[in-house]
Chain A
């Protein structure tokens, strides 16, 4: 896996590493990453056993092309890292990060383990999860503590709600400030923000596919590209929600074509009435009743947006292809095995 390329994290399943039926079946769910949990879903008396499973589980979750991620325990950092940093691990999630020095220490340990275990230096990412008020307050020092922190987010979820003493499932965004601070810190530091706009979830359901799609779609439109969940039912809707729709792709191509025309005129912007465009044309702008409106302004900002959308679309397709091929290889090997 080339280290310099951005790893997509549109969907990922977090699961207790001590439950073999989850770990053994996760590879064919189609998610971008699988987060093997040593933390909150593992009972205290099984922490040692859980650690012993990580190394052998990495190739199992990797089988379908998903990246292997491990969530370690805040208070057991050293022992958990020793168990998790093996070839094939892409990222380690560190929960309840509160200070930059925690990440610096983690970076030093990972650097040593990479050298000792034949892992390309600097490749294992750190997910510095913000789950407390102290973490929000120190967001910038945390995100800049290590170049291994490539994306950054949090400031919501159960731990955060506990720390603030607020209910988790309410009809308004009780975490809006913290999420804003963390996103700002991420963007100011040049890292990818991990966040989502507020979509009410009063039921607290973790397996609702419609909600998962709506949230991923809204997140993408707000400039976020990272998702994740707990239930296999949300994987496909997340992948779909993070991908631009066919109409959006066609629209982006149309925007770039109009922009090329505009560039030849010496003008900086033009307004196009899209209601008269042939609905069968290709590429074509999105239907005029869409949020974009009947009159579309084409300028360099709109062109940049369209370009990013198409690049993102390429990345999504490449990644989906990569996973499909991996799954095909496994299936082929399995059928070859059963044939003999």
Chain B
């Protein structure tokens, strides 16, 4: 299965026109336009009307685009979003497989209605309650549309009466359960919203790289970013560094030499290199290549978009 590179996911309130117009500029691997937070119910019809345009705008530098729908308006919100530029919906507050199954059949209907390939749209469940954490296995296995799942830590904290702080981590269990059950189901766990109780807005760039690296080392495959300033450090933390690539290239060489000499265990810099270490080295190198390919894809989309918008380039039509 090809590696799904979805390091950074910028979440933007769909009602904020300026933020939506700029959402493609930040080099996010994906963008989520949020119909839930910040949009009063009375303004929803208006926001829905321009949603397809917003999605198209958000995707123009190569980002995948999700829409966070309202749990009580899954049909209407999705109906306004489904089109060729939509990757999927972010489904908030999921507590059971039934909720996922309902959204799945709604998307099937809307795929037919809007001429989008059958079963192409994703559902990204967001876990926000203890019931959701408990039923996580049923939830992640409820639909083949699910490729990523997250715990919205701010929402979970609110539902449990928790005051988040960087000093005390109340979510060791919930986060561990998410990463294990999602990985077991072949679904990517993502971290959401001021993860680990850290107000990332207060951190230096290096501090944010460190937080993102810790999240990667807990098993998360990407981070939902509440502010554009998170994206560069998150992308950095999730892209294997040159020195790491160099180290694991050496590991592979040492292991290949050991194999040729008739053993699959070789000492290297105080560590023991055997099959799983070589396999991990392959994974790191493959991730590096996949990140490079994704970055090239985004660069190409950006260049095409820039050319399109460059006034010196004649626009055909």
Contact = CB atoms under 8 A, between A and B. Distances in A.
Interface string A1-40: 0000000000000011011000000000000000000011
Interface stretch (B109-117, B154-162, B210-218, B308-316): B210-218
Interface string B238-267: 000000000000000000000100111100
A281 interface: no
A176 interface: yes
B119 to A, nearest CB: 24
Given A41-B275, A204-B270, A137 B180 contact: yes
Find the residue from A163, A166, A206 having the highest chain B CB count within 10 A. A166
A16 B92 CA distance: 50
A172 B214 CA distance: 9
B133 to A, nearest CB: 11
Interface size class of chain A, counting residues whose CB lies under 8 Å from the partner chain: 35 or more
Contacts of B216: 165-166
Contacts of A41: 263-265, 274-275
Given A40-B264, A181-B180, A203-B270, A158 B280 contact: yes
A168 B280 contact: yes
A133 B184 contact: yes
B102 to A, nearest CB: 25
B217 A206 contact: no
B176 interface: yes
Interface string A299-333: 00000000000000000000000000000000000
A163 B183 contact: yes
Interface string B169-198: 000110111011111100000000000000
Nearest to B255: A43
B168 interface: no
A159 interface: yes
Contact of B176 (A18, A19, A177): A177
Contact of A164 (B172, B219, B259, B279): B219
Contacts of A247: none
B2 interface: no
Nearest to B173: A177
B277 interface: yes
A218 interface: no
Nearest to B258: A43
A207 B105 CA distance: 56
A38 B180 CA distance: 28
Interface string B118-145: 0000000000000000000100000000
Given A162-B280, A164-B179, A177 B172 contact: yes
A14 B175 CA distance: 33
A174 B217 contact: yes
B219 A165 contact: yes
Nearest to B269: A204
Contacts of B280: 158, 161-162, 168
19 contacts: A15-B265, A41-B263, A41-B275, A136-B180, A136-B184, A158-B276, A158-B280, A164-B179, A164-B180, A165-B183, A166-B216, A166-B219, A167-B217, A170-B214, A172-B217, A177-B175, A178-B180, A180-B176, A205-B271
Top 7 A-B residue pairs of the complex, sorted by shortest distance between their CB atoms: A177-B176, A158-B276, A41-B265, A133-B183, A40-B275, A133-B184, A164-B219
Given A159-B276, A162-B283, A205-B270, 14 more contacts: A18-B263, A19-B263, A40-B265, A40-B275, A40-B276, A41-B275, A133-B180, A163-B183, A165-B219, A177-B173, A177-B176, A177-B177, A177-B179, A206-B270
